[in-house]
Amino acid sequence: MSTLPIGPEVDTTPRPLPVRTRIAGRYAELEPLHPRHAPELWQAVKAGSPDGDDSWAYMGYGPFASQDALARFIADFSTTHDPVAWAVRPVATGITTGWLTLMEIQPKNAAIELGNIWFGPAMQRTRAATEAMFLLLKYSADDLGYRRLVWKCNSLNAPSKRAADRLGFTYEGCHRNHLTVKGRQRHTDWYSITADEWPRCRNALAAWLDPANFAPDGTARRSLADIRATL
């Protein structure tokens, strides 16, 4: 047997693939993305800035010129096996206003990425948005048993980098000249939450989402960073 350091042994059982199923939370419901969501999602798209919706700036697709164009995209996007896409329906409105996916799925390595996140303006920076991401992270780690949760983004995408940090992801580094997206060079920043880090992140997110953490005006009493610091 080699005397060189080779890392700890792990459970090598391949993790299950994500299943297209409804996932219910307190503030958001995730539904497998379907062409029937297109009309409501188009309304969310139209709510963007009339001068050009920045929400598409770092996406690999969009913006969409019409509801038909969006519907054609969803008809294809909703059938792929990697990524697997969910529509997000905030409980407060009952109207689908975004989507997100599990992608880069590696059952043998127990690694999976949360990505392709698009939230309409009405859902951005809401409890429903945070819970939607939490639900898929929890599904991946707790229900499916993935040991590595991944977040990647364009190195220029400051909001995505802030979101990764807020959710508890650890920055791993930059892949330079990683991709060409919409004809432009992209450096990609990588983040992860590993199995030993997940319980602390999960407990912090659950505590932040607890109704008791919110004042009558809807503002959070404690930030995620403050809660994590006490765990």
Q: HSE-up of 195 (CA within 13 Å, CB side)?
A: 11
* pLDDT for the residue 17: 98
* pLDDT for the residue 54: 87
pLDDT in tens, 107-139: 999 999 999 999 999 999 999 999 999 999 999
* pLDDT for the residue 52: 52
* pLDDT for the residue 53: 74
Q: Which positions of the chain have pLDDT values less than 50?
A: 51
Q: Which CATH number is 23-229 given?
A: 3.40.630.30
* pLDDT for the residue 2: 77
Share of the chain above pLDDT 90, in %: 94
Q: Tokens 């409105």: give the residue.
A: 93
* pLDDT for the residue 49: 62
Domain boundaries, the chain: 23-229
